[in-house]
Amino acid sequence: MIEKTLKVAVAVPCQLGESPVWDDRQQCLHYVDILNSLIYSYYPADKSVKTTEVSHAVGAIVPQQDGTFLAALSTGIHHINLPHGEAKFLIQPEPHAPENRFNDGKADASGRLWVATMNMQEQKNKGALYVVYPDLTFKKILDETTISNGLDWDESEGIFYHVESDDAIINRYTYDTVQVGIANRQKVATFTKEEGVPDGMTLDVEGMLWVAHFGGGCVTRRDPETGEVLAKIELPVKQITSCVFGGKNMNDLYITTAAKGLSEDELSQQPQAGYTFVLEDLPYQGRKPNKFVQIA
């Protein structure tokens, strides 16, 4: 049981809030509203929010070692300087698929970008998972995915975690950091309809999974070895999209949500749909984000 009070961090409703990442340099939280092509930067010290508008749907933002960011827009991977918003095109792994957009992305401990694509209409098996190297070359890691989410690694164990939301499954793979590949897929957990759909995910320093339940109205902490739910955080909204640790001690849990697709009646019952929430000073600690190393 988590004996902490859930608070609203940002009372701005996102259609599809996603990709939260803690900026340990600026001590702020960055996250996106995919469908409104917006990037938000929340500074908890003074509770201010800065908004950056981009040109296309933005599926993920990933920090770089120089303090700037990568933004995975539907038109390709861009370099972006927050909160100013100047975007410079870098690469597009899928020029042949204009009906796709990027969905989730993170850097691994070696400074490579892992980023997923999906069909904008959520058609099955139209997406893929790519790794982008520091020289901006790339290769496909998984093919014929539908909705990739929850990318994360337990580097000490050589494990890569991947959520396939369309199948409501969390998978784990052995991870070869030298050859940059994954193998030996195993199911960590399969979600029931009542539990909702697994969405964004992060690991704590103990290697436990924190999983957002889209449609399930909660975040759970799970043991990846057994799938057992160790803790549960209930939220006043149903569509929970992702979560990440932040704060000076990396023990504040930020949670993004979505208002996408809700009826007027549902919105009246969930007036905070799309808000970003926080649980502060938890007895659990997250890890600082990996950063992309661009040498091109």
Residue 2 pLDDT: 79
Q: Given 108, 199, 204, 252, which residue is catalytic?
A: 199
Residue 1: pLDDT band by 50, 70, 90 thresholds?
low
**pTM for this structure?**
0.96
Check if 199 is active-site: yes
CB distance 195 to 236 below 8 Å? no
Averaged pLDDT, 73-89: 89
CB neighbour list of residue 113: distance below 8 Å, 6 or more residues apart: 62, 70, 77, 105, 106, 107, 131, 132, 292
Query: What is the residue whose two structure tokens read 């992702």?
Result: 242
Question: Is pLDDT of 294 > 90?
Answer: no
Averaged pLDDT, 116-141: 95
CB neighbour list of residue 256: distance below 8 Å, 6 or more residues apart: 14, 17, 18, 19, 20, 31, 200, 212, 240, 241, 242, 243, 276
Domains of the chain: 7-279 (2.120.10.30)
CB distance 294 to 136 below 8 Å? yes
Two tokens, residue 163: 């959520």
